[in-house]
Amino acid sequence: MKSGARLGLMLLLAPLLLWLILLILIPHVDMFLVSLRERVGVGEYRISLANYLTFFQEPLYLWTFLRTAVMSILATLITLLIAFPVSYFIAKIARGRSRSALFLLCLVPFWVSELVRTFGWMILLRETGIISNLLQWAGLVSGPVEMLYNDAAIMVGLVYTSMLFMVVPLVTTLESLPDEVIEAGYDLGGTNTSVMREIVIPHAAPGIVSGSIVVFMLSLGNYLTPTMLGGKDSLWFTELIYSQFIVRFNWELGAAFGFMLLLLSSLIVWGMLRLTGQTLERTMG
């Protein structure tokens, strides 16, 4: 019996370890090692920090990196601000059938590819697009307006694309807050704002954190939205990685960029967890 249990453990452990070691651990270690290589001749490499030096010395790279980080944080905040009231409405105000219907309605857009969603915004925002036409028709502007290819368009795309990943964890945590507790808050003299601040938001903290982490990650690692909505000069860090790998074929520098992106995302996720006293298991698992 004991050896049987042991065998079972081994059998179940094998796929997990194969997956994590072969597809996650070794590739990332390898990527890091490649990022430390410097090409000194044809097929000749040596270990150095040259790629990282390039990253820090080239203002365009560093600027793009910081810009991506700041815009991703901003996108996360905006998504949270927009999603919270809606999630609260679904979880605590809508009842029965209409609650599930609204929740489902939130999910629907995300069953289709991000590409389709982005495409939709392009049709809306571009010079010959719906909104431009609408504004002309209403007489608010005299000629076509280009609303694509700027940071605001990127932000709209990022927020739209990430919305689901904020709404779902928020609705889930808010639903788990009994009405009774909210009523108790009012019964003891609380007002809308104080109940929100002292009861609802602290209760929703795990959902806020996990939603924010996911939205931040998705924004930071997004390639499609900045490229399509931001145009050629959108300066998103993933575009740099792509061009190093696929266009310039400079894998060493690309790997260094990849590692920097990984480092940044890990730092921010870790910081967010620390700041709110949450753990990865609780927020993700």
Residues of span 40-79 touching another protein by CB under 8 A: none
Residues 264-274: b if buried by 16+ CB within 10 A, e if exposed: bbeebbeebbe
CB of 50 to another protein, least distance (A): 17
212 forms part of the interface with another protein (CB under 8 A): no
Q: Which two tokens stand for residue 117?
A: 């969603």
When asked if residue 265 is in the footprint of another protein (CB under 8 A), the reply is yes
Closest approach of another protein to the CB of residue 224, in Å: 5
**Could you tell me which residues are beta bridge partners of residue 45?**
39
Q: Which amino acid is at 51?
A: N
170-199 residues in contact with another protein (CB under 8 A) are 178-192, 194-195, 198-199
Q: Does 254 bind another protein (CB under 8 A)?
A: yes
Q: What six digits make up the tokens of 76?
A: 């996360």
Helix (H, G, I), strand (E, B) or coil at 278: coil
Q: Is 168 in the site for another protein (CB under 8 A)?
A: no
* Residue selected from 148, 214, 215, 253 as contacting another protein according to rule CB under 8 A: 214
Please, which residues bridge with residue 38 across strands?
Answer: 46
Among 9, 53, 62, 81, interactor with another protein by CB under 8 A: 9
Using CB under 8 A as the binding rule, whether residue 34 contacts another protein is answered as yes
267 scored as a contact of another protein (CB under 8 A):
no
Residues from 110 through 139 that contact another protein (CB under 8 A): 111-117, 119-124, 126, 128-130, 133
Q: Which stretch binds another protein (CB under 8 A): 27-35, 48-56, 58-66, 145-153?
A: 27-35
138-157 residues in contact with another protein (CB under 8 A) are none
Residues 134/126, Cβ–Cβ less than 8 Å: no
Total residues at interface with another protein (CB under 8 A): 101
Contacts of 271 (CB under 8 A, 6+ apart): none
Contacts to another protein from residues 82-111, by CB under 8 A: 82, 85-86, 89, 92-93, 95, 102, 104-109, 111
Q: Residue 121 CB, nearest distance to another protein (Å)?
A: 5
Report if residue 222 touches another protein, rule: CB under 8 A: yes
Cβ contact 79:87 at 8 Å: no
The CA-atom distances, in angstroms, between 162 and each of 11, 72, 76, 79 are: 37, 11, 8, 7
62, 256 contact by CB (below 8 A)? no
Residue among 23, 40, 53, 247 that touches another protein (CB under 8 A): 23
| DSSP designation for 177 | S
Of the candidate residues 30, 46, 49, 53, the single one contacting another protein (CB under 8 A): 30
| DSSP annotation of 200 | I
Contact of 59 with 139, CB cutoff 8 Å: no
